[in-house]
Amino acid sequence: MPGAQASRARVARRIATAAAYGGGGLGLLGVGLAGVLLTESRLAIRAIGILDGDPPRADGVYGAAFADPAQAADPLVLAFLGDSTAAGLGVARGGETPGALLSAGLASVAERRVRLVNVAKSGSRSADLALQVAQALQHRPRVAVIMVGANDVTRHSPAATCVRALGDAVRTLRLAGCDVVVGTCPDLGTIKPVRPPLRWVARRLSRQLAAAQTIAVVEAGGRTVSLGSLLGPEFAARPEMFASDRYHPSAQGYATAAMALLPSLCAALDLWPEETGGAAVEPEAVLPVAVAAAAAAGRSGTEVAAAGPDTGVWRWALIKHRLRLGLPGAEQLRTASANSHPGTGDVRAT
């Protein structure tokens, strides 16, 4: 195992262990470096633009165009939880949010209507997930997507506390019969206004938190998809992936993230075909959960899920690079997803 990956695995396991046993903060930076980074952080905050208004509303029922007319099943409920990225801040239309894109994609694969319930809120941290879980469970979701972590890094929240809150959220949802897919902390080192040395530290902390999140989620019965390295090189090379504030994703950026999450979301519901022969991107592997988490934190769109029977304590994890398919086309999306005016087309306001 490469040195950086081994180091990340050790740190991730320490954070996850501290979370499990009630530890608080985990010091990752020296005092001298922290002072430099504080100055750099203030400069970055001044350089990052501000997006006015709230994310567009996208809650509703998706996919009548994909549903099997012979089946009159109730819509499958998809809950979205997390921060501004989960809410879709940075786009103008509801149909461009990750919740809408994944609802339409899930409906097309399941051939069933999907009802989106998005309780994510801009500015949320992992500590806010408990309230969001309570709100989501009122709608009896069958599957949930959580995207959280960026605000935990930027606001210097204790890593162990954040990981414990995420693990508790996943565990509560699983006990309610809801499958969970978590998009782990994005790579904050890709943000243009963030300059070295803050950029290097932001990347390191983002990946360490993402790896620790993976351990907590897998041990709580969920699965994760690495967004950090996926969004890193692609976003760094393509400014159009960012919204006008150069911090949140644009419509293209959200579509990229949604395409990475869709296969794992479908697999959680046993809807994704098994990839055999030439269809698989790479052979899957079973690794110790900390090693799998560290590897996923540094590799594009990697899924990590528990390996073995549900014993309540996961020691081994299955790491997989799933084949990504495109989301429904523009014409399908217009009839199958939300827009900025709920109640029109195929979407019913909730």
| pLDDT tens by residue, 7-16 | 666 666 666 5
**pLDDT value at residue 233:** 52
Higher pLDDT, 46 or 101: 101
pLDDT at residue 262 greater than cutoff 70: yes
Q: Is residue 168 part of a domain?
A: yes
Q: Is residue 303 part of a domain?
A: yes
pLDDT at residue 280 greater than cutoff 50: no
Higher pLDDT, 52 or 160: 160
Q: Is residue 345 part of a domain?
A: no
User: Distance between CA 319 and CA 1 in Å, rounded?
Assistant: 15
Containing domain of residue 226, as a range?
Answer: 3-22+36-336
CB 165 within 8 A of CB 149: no
pLDDT at residue 143 greater than cutoff 70: yes
Q: Is residue 235 part of a domain?
A: yes
**pLDDT value at residue 14:** 65
The whole-model pTM stands at: 0.79
Q: Is residue 31 part of a domain?
A: no
Per-residue pLDDT, averaged over 203-232, amounts to 85
**pLDDT value at residue 134:** 98
Higher pLDDT, 161 or 20: 161
User: Distance between CA 105 and CA 115 in Å, rounded?
Assistant: 12
Cis check for the bond before 249: say yes or no (omega within 30 of 0): no
pLDDT band of 329, cuts 50, 70, 90: very low
Q: Average pLDDT, whole number, for the chain?
A: 75
Q: Which tens digit of pLDDT belongs to each residue from 245-257?
A: 555 677 777 888 8
| Positions marked catalytic | 84, 245, 248
User: Distance between CA 193 and CA 204 in Å, rounded?
Assistant: 17
**pLDDT value at residue 227:** 84
**pLDDT value at residue 60:** 95
CATH of the domain at 329: 3.40.50.1110
Per-residue pLDDT, averaged over 111-131, amounts to 95
User: Distance between CA 295 and CA 208 in Å, rounded?
Assistant: 11
Q: Which tens digit of pLDDT belongs to each residue from 65-94?
A: 877 776 767 899 999 999 988 998 878 889
**pLDDT value at residue 173:** 98
The single residue listed with the structure tokens 């996961």 is: 314
Q: Is residue 193 part of a domain?
A: yes
The single residue listed with the structure tokens 């907590």 is: 216
**pLDDT value at residue 1:** 55
**pLDDT value at residue 284:** 77
**pLDDT value at residue 347:** 42
pLDDT at residue 310 greater than cutoff 90: no
Per-residue pLDDT, averaged over 299-307, amounts to 85
**pLDDT value at residue 332:** 46
Higher pLDDT, 176 or 22: 176
Domains identified in the chain, total number: 1
Q: Is residue 113 part of a domain?
A: yes
Name the residue among 103, 109, 110 with its Cα closest to residue 61. 103
Q: Is residue 344 part of a domain?
A: no
Higher pLDDT, 321 or 27: 321
Per-residue pLDDT, averaged over 151-162, amounts to 88
